[in-house]
Structure 1
Amino acid sequence: MRHLQTAVHPDVERLSQYTVLQRKATRAIVIDGEDILMLYTERYHDYTLPGGGLDDGEDVLAGLVRELEEETGAKNIHSIKPYGIYEEFRPWYKNDFDVMHMISYCYTCKIDRELGNTKFEDYEIRNGMEPRWINIHQAIAHNEKTILESPKKGMSIERETYLLRLIAQEML
C-alpha cells in the first residue's frame, strides 16, 4: 500500500528520547458522487473518516468492516480497495508511553446509501458522534474553519483534513 504522509505533532521533537506506543487503525473512504460518509463529533466540532483501532491480532480488513458497521451502521460493504497509509507521531495521554505512533490503513469501499443502527462505544456517545453523508467540499471547509477557530479541536483533525483534501483531488 502506498505511503500518503508522515505527520509529527509539534510537541514531539526527537523520537529517540521518548517511549513510543504503536497503534494500528483503519479508515474507510466511502464516496457517493461528491458526498462522503463521515463521522461528525460534537465535542471536537469536526468530521472524521469512519474507522478506528485494530484489536490485537485482528486482520486489517476485518477491522475495517467491523469499525464501519459499528460506527455508521453500514450495510453491504463491498469493493474494498487499498488507498494508502497515513502515519503520525503525537503525544500520548497516558503514563505508560510518551508518544503514540498511529498507522492508519485507509481503504475505499462501497456500501448501501441507507445506514442501519450504530453500535457506538460509551466515549463515542459522550463525544456526540454521529454518521453523516456530507458533500466532501463542505466537510473540508468545516474542518478548516474548526482548525482556525475552535479551541476544542482534537488532534486527529489535521490527519482527517489532509486525507479529505487528497481524496477530493484524486477521486472526484
Structure 2
Amino acid sequence: MRLIADLIHPALQDLTGDKLHRQAVRGIVLRDDKILLLYTERYDDFSFPGGGIDEHEDHLSALKRELHEEAGVLVVGQPQPFGMVSEYQPYWKPQWPIMYQKSYWYQCDVAVESVATKMEHYEIANGMGPQWIKLDDAIRHNEKVLREAPATMGLSIHRETRVLKHLADELSVA
C-alpha cells in the first residue's frame, strides 16, 4: 500500500529503544458530497472511523468491525486500499516509551441503512459520534484546531488531517 506520510511527534528526540508496535485500519466512506467521519467533542476534531487490528484479525475483518462499532455502518463489497501512514509518538507505558503505529486506509462502500454503534466506554466519555460532513468543512475545522493547538498535542489530528487533504487532492483530480 502506498505511503502517504511518515510522522514523528516533536517530543521524540530519539527513536531507539523498545517500542509498542500497533497496526490500525481506517475507513473512507463517501456518499454524495459528504464523508463519514467521527467527531469527538473532547478534542473538537474529525477523524476517520477505524482502530486497532486485533491479534486474530486481518485488515478487512478489523475494518468491518471498526466501522460497525464506531460509525454504525456495514461494509458492502470489496474495500479498496487507499494509503498508509506511519507514526512515532510517546507512549504512556514505561516498558514502551514509544509507540510505532501503521494505519491503513481503505475506501469503502456501506449499506444505506445504519446499525447501532458499539462504542468503547472512553469513546462515549469523549463525546465521539459519527457525522456526515463535507470534506472541505472537515479539513477547515481540523486546520483551525491545529492552529490553536499546544505543541504537546498528539499526532492523531495531524495524521487525520493529512489524509483528509490527500483525499481531497485526489478527488479534485478525478
| TM tier, smaller | over 0.9
Q: Alignment partner of 1:119: what SS?
A: coil
Write the distance in 1 (CA, Å) between the matches of 2:158 and 2:81.
21
Residue 6 (structure 1) aligned with residue 6 (structure 2): yes
C-alpha contact (below 8 Å) 2:64/2:75 kept by paired residues: no
Give the counterpart letter for 1:156 in structure 2.
S
Give how far 1:86 is off.
0.7
Stretches of structure 2 that go unaligned for 5 or more consecutive residues are none
> Which secondary structure state, in structure 2, belongs to the residue aligned with residue 15 of structure 1?
coil
Identity %: 44
| CA-based RMSD | 1.6
Letter of the structure 1 residue corresponding to residue 19 of structure 2: V
**CA deviation map 1:70-126 (0-9, x unaligned):** 001103532310111111001111222111001001100111344221000101000
Distance 2:114 2:167 in 1: 22
C-alpha distance in structure 1 between counterparts of 2:28 and 2:101, whole Å: 18
Q: Look up the match of 1:137.
A: 136
- In structure 2, distance between residues paired with 1:124 and 1:83: 25
- Distance (whole Å) between structure 2 residues aligned to residue 125 and residue 83 of structure 1: 28
Equivalent runs, 1:91-170 vs 2, <5 Å: 91-150=90-149, 154-170=154-170
* Paired amino acid for 2:45: D
What residue identity is the alignment partner of 1:159?
R
Which secondary structure does the structure 1 equivalent of 2:67 belong to? Answer: helix
In structure 2, distance between residues paired with 1:167 and 1:114: 25
162-171 or 150-159: bigger deviation:
150-159
Query: Where does 1:38-49 land on structure 2 (aligned, <5 Å)?
Result: 38-49=37-48
What secondary structure does 2:142 align onto?
A: helix
